[in-house]
A and B are shown apart, each in its own frame.
Chain A
Amino acid sequence: MAEVILNDQNFENEVLKSDVPVLVDFWAPWCGPCKMMGPIIDEIAKKFEGKAVKIAKLNVDDAASTAEKYNVMSIPTFKIFKSGEIVDEFVGVQSEEEIINKLEKIIS
């Protein structure tokens, strides 16, 4: 399963109403560190294929209202949603290992 691309329209269905926890990567094309993290998120999506978790990317230009609603003022920002609620969030560049550890904690 590749990662889900989010926008203001599909956010509710894909994230808030998701049966499984969702990692949302808030990013933008103008943000260098976000772009460097892109392939790392792709890699994580591959590693978690078939597991009870969804990996999603949210371009803050394409989903401006959602980014604003969640008070995103610094990117990259990562938030993990479970049953419509934020259960973990972290700001700034993260290592692949750190994100994997956080996801595993939540799905185990």
Chain B
Amino acid sequence: MYDLIVVGGGPAGLTAAIYAARRAMKTLILAKEFGGQAVYASKVENFPGFDLIPGYELMEKMKAQVERLGVEVKNIEATEIKKEDDIFFVRDKDNGAYEGKTIILSFGAVPRKLGLPNEDKFKGNGISYCATCDAPFFKNKNVAVIGGGNAALDAALLLAKFAKQVYLVHRREEFKAEEVRVNDAKKLQNIEMILSSEVKEIKGEKNIVGIVVGKVDSGETRELEVNGIFVEIGHIVESEFVSKIVELDERRQIIVNEKNETNVSGVFAAGDATTVPYKQIVIAAGEGAKAALTAYSYLQKVNSK
């Protein structure tokens, strides 16, 4: 029996585990992957104490710290959570079962897909959700970046160093990204911005040979010859497996109060999987700390009954 089971291994979950371990709570982390979205950032320049650190390095440090504190860490996906009396039962993908007195849900968010029929077929074969990982494979090729936020602009700027031509396809006229990034992109000759447009079709049999983009208002289409598509249209919370136990908002995010409590006593949540605004590493870490402290006081009350 664990005092706390943390579901998710990103900044929120790892920080929660650090705080819990330092309160001598017997803690288990179940994580499908470690480091969360932070490991996809080549540079993190806004985590206090570090002028610049690669995302994976920051997350490796957090994970190592958790392990040094004696937290049990399992690299496996949790698939089911049940409550019976005051005990939680967590099941993993391999049917392993764990019992905990408290739960922190911190499983984050995953990249949103375009939702086109042949998208999955081209995953790893022309479609990428990680520009920092895959940009170098597109040397002297044409690529499209889809999206208009910071991640999309960063992807376009990085790809412009490798690719021959970068098309930045965004469904609005204005970018959500910071102006500095947009201005940098405008200066580059091999980035063409295709605004108020969305991807209608991916063309190709074995490999991608192009995409069809359509104007949002007029529907007017244009075909672009590209071999790669970098999708940067935000993230979604995959909270289906907890939807029977905790309350979600219309974006499938877990509803929490300022103390990271969900609607179920003993279940707390933190990080990008929750309704807390601003999806940032430092915020996720802070929320994880709060969730662990609230779980600790809950446990104190339960134990003193």
Listed in ascending order, the chain A residues whose CB lies under 8 Å from chain B are: 28, 30-36, 40, 71-77, 91-93, 95-98, 101
Contacts and interface: CB of A to CB of B under 8 A. Distances in A.
A96 B32 CA distance: 8
Given A73-B228, A95-B77, A97-B92, A32 B41 contact: yes
B137 interface: yes
A97 B94 contact: yes
B221 interface: no
Given A71-B207, A74-B137, 6 more contacts: A30-B42, A33-B35, A40-B75, A75-B134, A95-B31, A96-B76
Contact of A95 (B75, B127, B137): B75
A34 B133 contact: yes
Question: For A36, A40, A76, A97, which residue has the most chain B Cβ atoms within 10 angstroms?
Answer: A36
A79 B132 CA distance: 21
Question: For B41, B93, B123, B134, which residue has the most chain A Cβ atoms within 10 angstroms?
Answer: B134
Question: For A35, A72, A74, A96, which residue has the most chain B Cβ atoms within 10 angstroms?
Answer: A74
Contacts of A35: 39, 56, 60
Contacts of B77: 95, 97
Contact of B128 (A36, A73, A93, A101): A73
Closest 4 CB pairs of A and B: A91-B124, A32-B56, A96-B75, A32-B39
Contacts of A34: 133
Interface string B72-105: 0011110000000000000011100000000000
A95 B94 CA distance: 12
Given A32-B40, A33-B130, A74 B93 contact: no
A74 B136 contact: no
A106 B129 CA distance: 29
B84 to A, nearest CB: 25
Interface of B: 31-35, 39-42, 54-56, 59-60, 74-77, 92-94, 123-130, 132-134, 136-138, 207, 228
A91 to B, nearest CB: 3
B124 A33 contact: no
A36 B31 CA distance: 13
Contacts of A92: 123-124, 129
Contacts of B132: 30-32
A101 to B, nearest CB: 7
A76 B124 CA distance: 9
B137 A72 contact: yes
B96 to A, nearest CB: 9
Contacts of A72: 137
B123 A36 contact: no
Contacts of B137: 72-74
B33 A36 contact: yes
A71 B76 contact: no
Nearest to B40: A32
Contacts of B228: 73
A25 B299 CA distance: 42
Contacts of A95: 31-33, 75-77, 93
A34 B35 CA distance: 11
A63 to B, nearest CB: 14
A36 B262 CA distance: 30
Contacts of B130: 31, 33, 74
A93 B33 CA distance: 7
B39 A74 contact: no
24 contacts: A28-B133, A28-B136, A30-B133, A32-B35, A32-B41, A32-B55, A33-B39, A33-B56, A36-B34, A36-B35, A36-B56, A36-B60, A73-B126, A73-B134, A74-B124, A74-B128, A74-B133, A77-B124, A91-B124, A92-B129, A95-B75, A96-B75, A96-B76, A97-B75
Contacts of B94: 97, 101
